[in-house]
Structure 1
Amino acid sequence: MNEKKGIDSSEASREPRPVPGSYGMFPFISAVRDRLDFHYFQGPDKYFESRIEKYGSTVIRINVPPGPFMAPDSRVVAVLDAKSFPVLFDLTKVEKMNILSTYMPSTSLTGGFRVCAYLDPSEPTHAKVKQLLFNVLASRKDAVIPVFRSHFSSLLATVDSQLMLGGKSNFNTLSDTTCFEFLCDAYYGVLPSASGLGTSGPAKAAKWLLWQLHPLVTLGLPIILEELLLHMVHLPPFLVSGDYKALYKYFSAAASEALDEAERLGLPREEACHNLLFATVFNSYGAMKLLLPGILAHVAEAGEKFHHRLAAEIRAAVADAGGKVTMAAVEKMELTKSAVLEVLRLDTPVKRQFGRAKADLNIESHDAVFAVKKGEILFGYQPCATRDPRVFGATAGEFVGDRFLGEEGSKLLQYVYWSNGRETENPSVDNKQCPGKNLAVLVGRLLLIEVFLRYDTFTADITKGPAAPTVEFIGVTKASSGPDLA
């Protein structure tokens, strides 16, 4: 594709064309081969890039995982540029019922209920559950900053101790535990580790997540083992039922006030509890496990000069607030917010979006218009859209921490799609945009605030992983000056 900033709708031919691409001559065998390319031989980015190049189009027919063993049909129309991708947000054109992927995990994993992620906004329960989630976030909004600071200042103190003792500290290991404690504390005010769940919560949550996501993931095992164990049969839900029951018992007690609110909204208490568990563990915890290491990895690689810019901005804003980290102070940190949004643009935790065409429709890319039939599954691989050089120019695939500063930077926010919607739009009960959109950006900023109130700069070994990078601190320079924190 030609590198040209911005989208020019006049480029597109107005006459709809058939969607190019192929599902292969032998559907079953081709789908398996494509899955191997996706996971092992090419990797997701190269998988889509090679097919865009092959067919000369960013809207193509293609097979996507999990393939024939897990899903009756993993054949999709892929929308792989910034202009075509937003069709997935248009609920006049696409349906979102049971279409978080091309397969749906057993409802045995969610107490027998179809939780909000699998509901279309046209279903009455969707609005009730999403309103409940909004209410929980609103009722606990004042707790987020102090609770985050308490948990993550302790995490960084552990980093300091481990560096002193062994010269390195694995952030991911510490973060996985801390994120679970923080989220439950922030949302419900009850520490899992102080409940009957004890310290087992993160491990039980991770196991339950794997049971739902295993058709789509790799764990670094030999290919034949992963294909046999993860990609050919559904893992039996009964093997994780004990872990889920323990999680449910915690949530039913910790979230009692939220469950009272659910009943006022007309949502049965049991169904509400399964939804709160899913939203907290799957949506929030699952995303934070990926997002926070991603932020640190990109910022680590940005280097000392960028670290000093972040530290100066963060410390000045906190000093102006009397040494306190307040919401008003956070909002003044424009570079910090830009850096977090840039990570979400490059490496969003949720890279795949789906929808089913409600009727025959036309999809417009930069260069053409394509005809799609009612009932076809539309698929978007988000990095192709949010690294589109026609929008983000020659640096589309690079981390540019100050990309979203100023008037020109603000114009690019409409092409940041990580939340299942545009960054310039807001979630509501009527759409599928993430209800925790603003919280996720806030948490990313709070991580950088904690790091750069404590350190002038840091170095880390970064190991790219199939889901998130592994970040191992190997050196820090303690802050030489800064505000006296309250």
Structure 2
Amino acid sequence: MSSSSSSPPSDSSSSPPKLPLKPIPGDYGLPFFGPIKDRYNYFYNQGRDEFFKTRIQNYNSTVFRTNMPPGSFIASNPKVIALLDAMSFPILFDTSKVEKRDVLDGTYMPSTDFTGGYRVCAYLDPSEPNHDALKRFFFSLLASRHHKFIPLFQSHLSDVFLNLEAQISKDGKADFNTLSDEMSFKFVFSLFCGQNPSTNTSVGSKGPNLVALWLAPQLAPQITLGSPKVLSFAEDILLHTFTYPAFLVQSTYKKLYDAFYESAASVLDEAEGSFGIPRDEACHNLVFLACFNAFGGMKLLFPALIKWVGSAGEDLHRQLRNEIRSVVKENDGNVTFLALDKMTLTKSVVYEALRIEPPVPFQYGKAKEDIVIQSHDAAFEIKKGEMIFGYQPFATKDPKIFENPEEFVGHRFVGEGEKLLKYVYWSNGRETDDPTVDNKQCAGRDLVLLVSRLMLVEFFLRYDTCTVDVTTVSFGSSVTFKTLTKAS
């Protein structure tokens, strides 16, 4: 059976046929109580996916009105129009029609006190002057370190494998997440600052914990701790009713900021001299880019990648190791950009992991004008000023686009399957588009793809196969290696 639908429908970017204009179904419930009811259903009574599935079924529509957490108190207006299919979702990438100002975290925005008093680039709309300068700075920073990507990641990753092997030898199992987090922070800090944070800064080995402490109060309104239902009321009060003040983590953030400020002097010189960005503002943006965007993304991405590949079984493992080892052998034993580009299955597996479990599941935007969007079945008018919400895992598992959408299919994007890449949205844009200063697509999109492929390449150069245990946690998955079979 083919791994994809044979003839995916067109979308709004390719002039789809006119569909009947229908009113957007759904409502927001009673003032004050409606958002609370939706929040309890979302976190406790139904759970995230079931919350959306039941509404799709009830309204017979993948576009509808609802409230999104955290709702009242934290968010001044929790009302959104939800887009839960691959056709309507891309309107969120069109910055000529949708404003992306202060919508990174959804219907609320953490205080700028968490970021030194600045609205960092992630919260800016491309129409704002600072966005252009900051994103060009990011592009320049990544381009100047292009030659370091592969050797630096390889060196840090080798420590992960040695520690995994030691843990399995000692305990019969090994926790991947903790080792992956340590490696990811060291890699990101070393890449941007040119130093190992564990040995050359006051941060030491505490980097991942410091980042987690800094992020926790900002992201608390979006999470549940998985508490028993009898404790849901207490958890809801604790996490979803009031915002946490930044002073609670001020000393934590200062340690991160000082480490970057001292270690990235040349980077900040460039920001100031070439892009006209004040040094302090540049450093706060660098901390956010490195810790929230890069490290935070890897913290979710790498366990998800290993979860899906590790659970896929020996057949996929055999195919991956054969491709990887063959290409590397043909390249005189070297892992290079050109060699990585030849590994079609490896690339497809990374895309499939990003499709089935995108590291950032939510997208938001506010309509800049009255716009008409289309799902597969109908057209809907969204009024200027209305908040639009997209739940990416439903859009990228749209059964009208992908066959067996809930199944991890490693070869999904090989050959003719490459045509489906325009429906992979993990980077806040289509996989077939490129990040620019005029859009909100991830500036480090290509780096993320590269290190994900490198993770698989280095793994299957070293091991033939593995077995893993996976548990779901507040954000993402926790992966434990049970066995690692060294390359024969």
Shorter-chain TM-score bucket reads over 0.9
* Change over 3 Å in CA distance of 1:320–1:213 after alignment to 2: same
Letter in 2 for 1:86: P
Aligned residue in 2 for 1:6: 8
SS at match of 1:308: helix
User: Offset at 1:175?
Assistant: 1.0
Aligned residue in 2 for 1:483: none
Is 1:246–2:248 an aligned residue pair?
no
> Counterparts in 2 of 1:84-483, with a 5 A limit?
84-100=88-104, 101-194=106-199, 195-221=201-227, 222-263=231-272, 264-393=274-403, 395-406=404-415, 408-480=416-488
SS at match of 1:27: coil
> Is this contact kept in 2: 1:13–1:367, CA < 8 A?
no
Q: Deviations over 1:7-59 (max 9, x none)?
A: 156986544222111111x2322211211221222221111111011101111
Write the distance in 1 (CA, Å) between the matches of 2:171 and 2:278: 51
Letter in 2 for 1:84: S
User: Offset at 1:5?
Assistant: 4.9
Gaps of 5+ in 2: none
Identity of aligned residues (%): 51
Is 1:60–2:60 an aligned residue pair?
no
Letter in 1 for 2:175: N
Write the distance in 1 (CA, Å) between the matches of 2:238 and 2:263: 35
User: Offset at 1:323?
Assistant: 1.1
Letter in 1 for 2:9: I
Aligned residue in 2 for 1:44: 48
* Change over 3 Å in CA distance of 1:198–1:8 after alignment to 2: closer
> Is this contact kept in 1: 2:19–2:377, CA < 8 A?
no
User: Offset at 1:184?
Assistant: 0.8
TM-score by length of 2: 0.95
> Is this contact kept in 2: 1:12–1:365, CA < 8 A?
no
SS at match of 2:400: helix
Letter in 2 for 1:7: P
Runs of 4+ deviating beyond 4 Å: 8-13
> Is this contact kept in 2: 1:76–1:379, CA < 8 A?
yes
Q: Deviations over 1:177-212 (max 9, x none)?
A: 111111111222111112121112111101111121
TM-score by length of 1: 0.95
Write the distance in 2 (CA, Å) between the matches of 1:62 and 1:13: 26
Write the distance in 2 (CA, Å) between the matches of 1:303 and 1:447: 17
* Change over 3 Å in CA distance of 1:87–1:251 after alignment to 2: same
> Is this contact kept in 2: 1:12–1:364, CA < 8 A?
no
> Is this contact kept in 2: 1:16–1:370, CA < 8 A?
yes
Write the distance in 2 (CA, Å) between the matches of 1:41 and 1:12: 39
> Is this contact kept in 2: 1:308–1:456, CA < 8 A?
yes
Letter in 1 for 2:451: V
* Change over 3 Å in CA distance of 1:5–1:55 after alignment to 2: farther
What is the alpha-carbon root mean square deviation over aligned residues?
A: 1.4
Gaps of 5+ in 1: 481-486
* Change over 3 Å in CA distance of 1:112–1:8 after alignment to 2: closer
Query: Among residues 21, 26, 42, which one is paired with 1:21 in the alignment?
Result: 26
Write the distance in 2 (CA, Å) between the matches of 1:75 and 1:346: 27
> Is this contact kept in 2: 1:461–1:474, CA < 8 A?
yes
SS at match of 1:402: coil
SS at match of 1:87: helix
Aligned residue in 2 for 1:484: none
- Equivalenced residue count is 475
Write the distance in 2 (CA, Å) between the matches of 1:338 and 1:14: 33
Letter in 1 for 2:380: F
